[in-house]
A = this chain, B = another copy of it.
Amino acid sequence: MAAVLPKAVRELTQELTLLPGVGMKTAQRLALHLLRQQRGTTARLAETIATLHDRVQTCSVCFSLADDAMCAICKDPSRTKSTLCIVEDALDVEAIERTGSYTGVYHVLGGLLSPLAGVGVDQLTLKELAARAEKEAIQEVIIALEHSMEGEATTRHIMSYIKNLDIPVTRLARGLPTGGDIEFADALTLNAAFSGRTKV
């Protein structure tokens, strides 16, 4: 079969399929959608993508994403610098900030330990975390990593050097999500909810 769509559309489709969750069909639809937009709209999108790396920095303190050398949370004098919440990425920071109830600071690992996926200690900011835990006057650590194989492995690794520092360390509770129907809960979650049950 001869290629029917123009080369530019095929190239864009190809590049869009590299995005997570975007298959061939979706990529084609997106490419056609962009083609139907005003030139100004696509030009703006192209410009935003092109300048993304230059405009975003990594916070030198917590390794979250930032507009400049230090993120808004680390700059904020009202945050409790002695409480450290360890998360996987900047989206987790955003999710926790949405609750509006956490007033400490963060440490962004940049991923979870996963030998199968080739993510080792050096790919994450674990050494930087160890350095922070030793240097800064941290009084509480909250590990907010997902409850998965990778989350467990990363937590164990963190505990291996944090436990010597005599700082209280907690993990986020496991249990049923709000509104989650019990009949649809998986066995692991249900087990965790049972063993973590609280007094009424």
The chain A residues found within 8 Å of chain B, CB to CB, are 1-9, 11-12, 15-16, 18-21, 26, 28-35, 39, 41-53, 55-57, 64-67, 71-73, 76, 89-91, 93-94, 97-98, 100
Contact = CB atoms under 8 A, between A and B. Distances in A.
Given A18-B41, A42-B50, A47-B50, A97 B6 contact: no
B100 A52 contact: no
A161 to B, nearest CB: 27
A42 to B, nearest CB: 6
Given A3-B72, A7-B67, A29-B91, A46 B55 contact: no
Nearest to A94: B4
Number of copies: 2
Contact of A33 (B20, B32, B71, B97): B20
A19 B12 CA distance: 14
A46 B30 CA distance: 14
Q: Most B CB atoms within 10 A — which of A16, A41, A49, A76? A: A49
B67 A32 contact: no
Q: Which of A2, A8, A16, A41 has the most CB of B within 10 A?
A: A8
Contacts of A6: 55-57, 65-67
Nearest to A37: B18
Contact of A56 (B4, B9, B48): B9
29 contacts: A1-B100, A2-B73, A3-B72, A4-B64, A4-B71, A4-B72, A4-B73, A4-B94, A5-B65, A8-B48, A8-B67, A9-B52, A11-B48, A12-B52, A16-B45, A18-B41, A19-B34, A20-B30, A21-B29, A28-B94, A32-B89, A32-B90, A34-B52, A35-B53, A35-B65, A42-B49, A46-B46, A46-B49, A46-B50
A60 B96 CA distance: 54
